[in-house]
A and B are shown apart, each in its own frame.
Chain A
């Protein structure tokens, strides 16, 4: 793993009215690194991802992707990354291939058809190529969203709860697939999930946020030990319930 930085977030802050959704968040992501963004519901994970995607403007702070300021080089930067989320859909009345084709073209993918077919096969939905998108089961749609997110062979992938509607078998395959692409192509991933198994298995490093603030960071095993817990799930519950104490540093 080389150490060149793909994403650098500096003092990122987002305020909605009286609510500080993301509070002076700073971290960086290296090429080929998979980082998990963890935190309770409403901790600010999605808000942070949306700022990194350029669809939400930070109140303050800086985002640098591929060494460029996101705000000033938006189109260039966005064409080299991608995103998938449970909250976002593709037009339901189009066929699976039509949806993929459109995004492939928007991202300027060259070998459109072979790329589409390969990804559909990899995610085991090749047989649904001609299906109407709206007829897909939610797990199949999640996999289609992942196909869309991998179309442009991104260097940086942002995934917001990508495995939340997948069955254990497919979820396992998706994790292995992401791992494989990361190894082979040096893909970097910023990942949110409430599935601790996901995080432990996939992430090289985790960022724990509580009420918008980063309160712990490091490889999963190290963070777990640092807080003297047995596993990530216990740690998560502990931080979710006693986050304020942890923030003040009175504990541990």
Chain B
């Protein structure tokens, strides 16, 4: 693993983004729209309850911000990969001295950069518009965000693996995969409202524990460490599966000549 090459790969994405208004805007535009929707939904619900609804309802804003972190860290990897597919540059990269792990790490680090920009922007905006203070989560913010990023990495690797294997026909997955888990992940409502069978699935997803934990902290100021433990444990498993899948699909791609074919279909 060469950190120098990883760094160059990150810079490459920075170059690509700097040259594109659309991409730059995308980092801020969609999250802002989402925040507006969820922020005003929150306002509306609070007003309808005439002050009887607890302050807790503001977790919707926190949930939306957290969801965006997950979504964008997954996209960071998948879109960076697709960027090379679209520009038919993949062969140039992999016939050079670049390891798959370096490539993925570069995409992830660039994804982190993107997420950070979005996150800072959303935090400020949520505070200005709705007086929602994400830092109220205090210390817990760090493990929460870290777990979301790691799950994003795992999902990003899985999506990339599937696109490598099944080609650009599977491209829609880049945007769709996070939404496959969203209903189960109890982003905007507690797991307890789900029917029992769905709860089983819900608890098998790392980020469910992050969202449950977040609501607990907002409600009581404290958090059950078991949620955090579950999130970390499950993430380790997800990450291991994702790595296995990616390496496997990359090997299939080497066997079937897919690296040269991607982007030309």
Contact = CB atoms under 8 A, between A and B. Distances in A.
Are A and B part of the same complex?
Answer: yes
Interface of A: 16, 46-47, 50, 53-57, 75-76, 78-79, 82-83, 85, 87-95, 98, 102-103, 105-108, 132, 148
Contacts of A75: 97, 99
Contacts of A105: 4-5, 8, 11
B97 A90 contact: no
B16 A93 contact: yes
Interface residues of B, number: 32
A53 B259 CA distance: 12
A90 B87 CA distance: 7
Contact of B97 (A85, A91, A106): A106
B127 to A, nearest CB: 35
A55 B250 CA distance: 10
Main secondary structure, interface of B, reads: helix
Nearest to A81: B95
B95 A92 contact: no
Contact of B92 (A50, A54, A79, A90): A90
A107 B9 CA distance: 12
B92 A103 contact: yes
Contacts, number: 90
A159 to B, nearest CB: 12
Given A55-B95, A83-B95, A103-B92, A94 B19 contact: yes
Interface in B240-265: 251, 254-257, 259-260, 264
25 contacts: A53-B95, A55-B254, A55-B259, A78-B96, A87-B91, A88-B88, A88-B89, A88-B91, A89-B92, A90-B87, A90-B92, A91-B16, A91-B83, A91-B87, A91-B89, A93-B16, A93-B20, A94-B15, A105-B4, A105-B11, A106-B93, A106-B96, A107-B96, A107-B97, A148-B92
A75 B103 CA distance: 13
B116 to A, nearest CB: 23
